[in-house]
Structure formats: structure tokens, C-alpha cells
Amino acid sequence: MSALAGVLERQARIARALEPLRALLLLGTRLWVSWQFLKSGWLKLTTWDVTLELFRSEYQVPLLPPEAAAVAGTFGELVFPLLLIPGLLTRAAGLGLSAVNLLAVISYWHVLGGEGFEAALAQHVLWGYMLAVIVLFGGGAISLDRLSGAHRDC
């Protein structure tokens, strides 16, 4: 056996050993990103007057009136995570939450793009990356999508 063949065989064994962790990684990713958006959506819902004022004066959502943007944003921050948590319609929910995340960055760019707000912007980038993983790889073995048999590649 050549040295390269030995390295490749060890790499294949390591990959097989790590494979069971994929489901836990995808579950953890779904739970973490969902929690972040659920907290934000719940705050918007429970302080609706403040939410409306922020959408009127602070958030600059393109193409939507402030009231419609507030309803759409709050809806997205509450409904998509509730689908992601159990892994139901995982890829669609991940795409929906990605749109919410992107719109939040666009709407608040006048702040997030400014000096001193790099950490806040980095949070949105991290969530976007996590959502991309979910959209590309699905909910994993620990998901309702997988249990339903609807998505065998989860």
C-alpha cells in the first residue's frame, strides 16, 4: 500500500466515524439560529407599538409600507423558526429565514454598515451562513422531514 493510499484510507475511516455527528450538527444549527430569530420576533410581537414606530422611523425596508414590513418581519421571525426547530419543511423555512435576515441587513444597513457595528453585522453573517448550511444540507436525520420520508437526502 502506498503512503497516499494509507492516508486516504485513514481519512475515509475518520469520515465514517464522524458521520453520525452530522445529524447533531444540523439539529444544533437549526436550534441555535431559530432561537435567535424567535427572541427577536417575540420582542417585536410583545412590544408592537414600539415595533411599529421602529419600522416607521428607524428601519428602512424597501418597497413595503412600514406596517406591512413590521407584520411580514415579525411573521417570518416567528413562523420560520417554528418550522426549523422540528425540521419540518426545513429547506423552505431556511430560505424564508434567510430572506428575513437579508432584509434586516438591508433595512438597517445605515447602522450595521457603520463603524463600530462590525460585531452586529457579523452576527447576521453568521446566521446567514448557518441558514445556508440548513438550506443546502436539509434538516438531517433528526428532523420531521426525514421521519416523514419526504426528504431522504436530509
pLDDT in tens, 41-83: 999 999 999 999 999 999 999 999 999 999 999 999 999 999 9
Structural domain harbouring 108: 21-148
Q: What is the pTM of this model?
A: 0.89
> Is residue 12, in this structure, part of any structural domain at all?
no
Structural domain count of the chain: 1
> Is residue 7, in this structure, part of any structural domain at all?
no
> Is residue 103, in this structure, part of any structural domain at all?
yes
99/43 Cα distance (integer angstroms): 19
> Is residue 36, in this structure, part of any structural domain at all?
yes
62/137 Cα distance (integer angstroms): 31
> Is residue 35, in this structure, part of any structural domain at all?
yes
Contacts 24+ apart (CB under 8 A), 125-128: 127/33, 127/36, 127/37, 127/101, 128/98, 128/101, 128/102
Predicted confidence band at 30 (pLDDT cuts at 50, 70, 90)? very high
